[in-house]
Structure 1
Amino acid sequence: MGNLLSYSGISAKIRAMQSKLTTEEQFQEILQLSSVPQVITYLKHTKEYEEAWASLDENTLHRGQIEKLLKASVFNNFSRIYQFSNPEQRKFLDLYSKRYEIRVLKEIMTDLFDHRNTDPVDVTPYRDFFRKHSNMDLDRLIACTSMEEFITALKGNEFYLPLSQIQNHESALLFDYGMVLDLYYFTQIWNVRKKLFSGNDLKQITHAYGEKFDMLNLQFIFRSKRYFHMAPADIYALLIPMNYKLKKEEINTLVEAASYEEARPLFRKTYYGKKYEHLAAHNLEEFYNCMLRSTLEKEARRDPYSVALLYSYMYHKEHEVNRLTIAIECVRYGVQPEEALQFIRNN
């Protein structure tokens, strides 16, 4: 009864927001259009974008501006849910919002590594979000001209320590900085979940993130062996340090396998290899998106008055933006609708 009372209001709010997300039928209609301005005109007449995009001139918008507008819709919707949430629900949203901070940090670091002499990262889509949900000084960060200056500007923030540890390695690449942020975030989620949640919320968070982290580790193990031929010690260093359905000894066996070919049959012996007969090492990445989506949908339907509802909506909203970005690019380059729809479904 407690969950029903605490989630009844936000459950109705999210259901209303979810009904505005772009459907597959709408994606099919978008892919039949012949130009990007036509896509924007179409979106301006959908429930999700009609109000925010009403004053836009679709004929003057370029690709970068459209992408920023789509990103901004994710942050705006997050803030709307946050305002409607109670203190317990905000515990999850505060934890979830760190992924957005990391996303922006990666964008800034990419500019620094590329030594771009153009304008700094445009933080317009994020500014309002950072003002409400972050203690990072965004303007100071985008004004930095080197990684040393950037990391120094993060002093006092939780991301300073993991980044400064990587900074001590002269050979550190952009990939290393991004990976250490992801590992920090995933480890924090796994370690604090029992402090933030209890009962059914804890069960659902553990299941959703547990399978997510298992699949990410599997993807990384097989990608590192197939494409990069990394040594086991280097693979271990970049794995998310947790175990859910994937046992520690199974991870060790996969990592220590001499080659990608040798690791493939070993995968069939794991929980995921046994449960999903059509899943193989070569299609892990495609299956990961499908599995996470179905897991969240199932949990949200099973208990619409739980934290799974929040996670499910934000996941679907972010993927709507990814899919719309793909759809716009496909229309722009004249990709056949059938082929474009396959790209969208795989995302």
Structure 2
Amino acid sequence: MGSLLSYSGLSTKIRAMQSKLIQERQYQEISQLESVTQVVAYLKKQPGFADFWADLDENSLHRGDIEKLLVHTIHQNFAKLYRFANPQQRTFMALYFKRYELSVMKDCLRKVFDKGHADLDLSLFKDFFNRHSKLDIEKLAGSSTVEEFINNLQGSEYYAPLKKLGGDYMPGIFDYGMALDQYYFANIWSVKEKLFKKRDLEEITKAYGNKFDMLNLQWIYRSQKYYHMTPADIYALLIPVHYRLTRKEISALVEAADETEFGRILDTTYYKKRFPALAPEKLEDFYNLNLKMILETEARKYPHSVIMIYSYLYHKEHEVDRLTTAIECVRYGLSPAEIMDYIEKT
């Protein structure tokens, strides 16, 4: 009863917000449009965007502006839920929020590594981050070197994971991005039992456990097939979490002599039993399918748990990814059939 009372109001709010997500019929209508300006004008009339974009002049927006505005609708919806949530629910949202901090930090690092990149303007996100984050995103965006960027993270939890990189080699943007991801994922796994109880803990464990296993499978496969990395280097990339994949299975996959052996070992895992069509080259597709199925199924079964929040935020982010893809396709003049094909693959 406590969980029901705790989540009933927020679940009702989330269901109302879910009803405003762009549906298949609307993507089909978008695919028929002839310009990016028309897409923005169309979105302004949709319930999920009308309140946020009512005052926008679609004729004055550049592609980069539109992409940032789309991402910002994620922030705005997160903030709307956060205001409505109680302290228990905000615990999960604060943990989830770190993925937005990682995204901004990676944008800043790309700007540092790409010396010819234009100035990174994060002013649209400033108020949102000022309310929910201790990071000074303006200072981070203004960093001109990696050393300056890391120094600007002093006092934050992200300083130590990045500061320790280097030594005998010169880290690249991939190394810094992986260090942030590994820290974030390991942090979620290490604090979940302290922050969550009962049903919420079960749902967090199931959703993130599956996610981390599937990410590790992808990283092992890519590291072997495309980068020919040594087992020692592959181990260094992995999320230090074992859910449905045992340490023995991880070791066997990492040490696999070739793709054929990797596939044979993959066939013995839990995930092959869950998805009979799973194959090494389809790991990314099944990662997305697995997470989507878990979030949708668990949110239906337990609408008065933390999984309801996770499911909504996942689908909102997926909507932004699909709309970004649609806008790029319209911009390049693809046919409606081609646009829908790209949307469905996103």
> Which residue of structure 2 aligns with residue 152 of structure 1?
151
Deviation at 1:131, TM superposition (A): 0.6
Instruction: For 1:148, give the aligned amino acid.
Output: E
> Which residue of structure 1 aligns with residue 184 of structure 2?
185
Deviation at 1:38, TM superposition (A): 1.2
- Residues 7 and 305, structure 1, Cα contact 8 Å, conserved in 2: yes
Deviation at 1:241, TM superposition (A): 0.4
**CA deviation vs aligned residue, 1:178-223 (integer Å, no higher than 9, x gap):** 0000000000001111111111110011000000000000011111
Deviation at 1:329, TM superposition (A): 0.7
Q: Secondary structure at the match of 1:245?
A: coil
> Which residue of structure 2 aligns with residue 74 of structure 1?
74
**CA deviation vs aligned residue, 1:6-35 (integer Å, no higher than 9, x gap):** 001111111111110001111111111111
> Which residue of structure 2 aligns with residue 330 of structure 1?
329
**CA deviation vs aligned residue, 1:84-142 (integer Å, no higher than 9, x gap):** 111100110010001101110000011001123632x1112321221111111222222
- Residues 43 and 49, structure 1, Cα contact 8 Å, conserved in 2: yes
> Which residue of structure 2 aligns with residue 122 of structure 1?
121
Instruction: Indicate yes or no: 2:250 matched with 1:251.
Output: yes
Deviation at 1:345, TM superposition (A): 2.1
Instruction: For 1:114, give the aligned amino acid.
Output: D
Task: Trace 1:121-140 onto structure 2 (pairs within 5 A).
Answer: 121-140=120-139
Q: Distance in 2 between matches of 1:72 and 1:261?
A: 43
Higher mean C-alpha deviation, range 334-343 or range 176-185: 334-343
Instruction: For 2:205, give the aligned amino acid.
Output: T
Q: CA RMSD in A?
A: 1.2
- Residues 71 and 125, structure 1, Cα contact 8 Å, conserved in 2: no
TM-score normalised to the size of structure 1?
Answer: 0.97
- Residues 4 and 305, structure 1, Cα contact 8 Å, conserved in 2: yes
Over 3 Å counting, the alpha-carbon distance change for 1:104 and 1:169 in structure 2 is farther
- Residues 123 and 138, structure 2, Cα contact 8 Å, conserved in 1: no
Q: Distance in 2 between matches of 1:74 and 1:250?
A: 37
Q: Distance in 2 between matches of 1:313 and 1:117?
A: 34
Q: Distance in 2 between matches of 1:275 and 1:45?
A: 41
The 4+ residue runs of structure 1 with deviation greater than 6 A are none
Q: Secondary structure at the match of 2:21?
A: coil
Deviation at 1:279, TM superposition (A): 1.3
Over 3 Å counting, the alpha-carbon distance change for 1:267 and 1:93 in structure 2 is same
Deviation at 1:62, TM superposition (A): 1.4
Instruction: For 2:103, give the aligned amino acid.
Output: R
> Which residue of structure 1 aligns with residue 85 of structure 2?
85
- Residues 75 and 125, structure 1, Cα contact 8 Å, conserved in 2: no
Deviation at 1:262, TM superposition (A): 2.2
Deviation at 1:76, TM superposition (A): 0.8
The answer for unaligned runs of 5 or more in structure 1 is none
> Which residue of structure 2 aligns with residue 303 of structure 1?
302
**CA deviation vs aligned residue, 1:239-298 (integer Å, no higher than 9, x gap):** 000100111111110100112232112111111012211111111101211211111011
Q: Distance in 2 between matches of 1:342 and 1:258?
A: 36
Q: Distance in 1 between matches of 2:285 and 2:31?
A: 21
Q: Distance in 2 between matches of 1:117 and 1:192?
A: 37
Instruction: Indicate yes or no: 2:26 matched with 1:51.
Output: no
Task: Trace 1:79-118 onto structure 2 (pairs within 5 A).
Answer: 79-116=79-116, 118=118
TM-score normalised to the size of structure 2?
Answer: 0.97
Q: Secondary structure at the match of 2:333?
A: coil
Q: Secondary structure at the match of 2:7?
A: helix
Q: Distance in 1 between matches of 2:289 and 2:337?
A: 19
**CA deviation vs aligned residue, 1:136-158 (integer Å, no higher than 9, x gap):** 12222222211111111111110
> Which residue of structure 2 aligns with residue 231 of structure 1?
230
Identical amino acids, percent of aligned pairs: 54
The answer for unaligned runs of 5 or more in structure 2 is none
- Residues 30 and 39, structure 1, Cα contact 8 Å, conserved in 2: yes
Task: Trace 1:147-296 onto structure 2 (pairs within 5 A).
Answer: 147-296=146-295
Q: Secondary structure at the match of 2:15?
A: helix
Higher mean C-alpha deviation, range 209-218 or range 222-231: 222-231
Over 3 Å counting, the alpha-carbon distance change for 1:89 and 1:183 in structure 2 is same
Q: Distance in 1 between matches of 2:216 and 2:254?
A: 10
Over 3 Å counting, the alpha-carbon distance change for 1:125 and 1:289 in structure 2 is farther
Deviation at 1:336, TM superposition (A): 2.7
Q: Distance in 2 between matches of 1:312 and 1:276?
A: 21
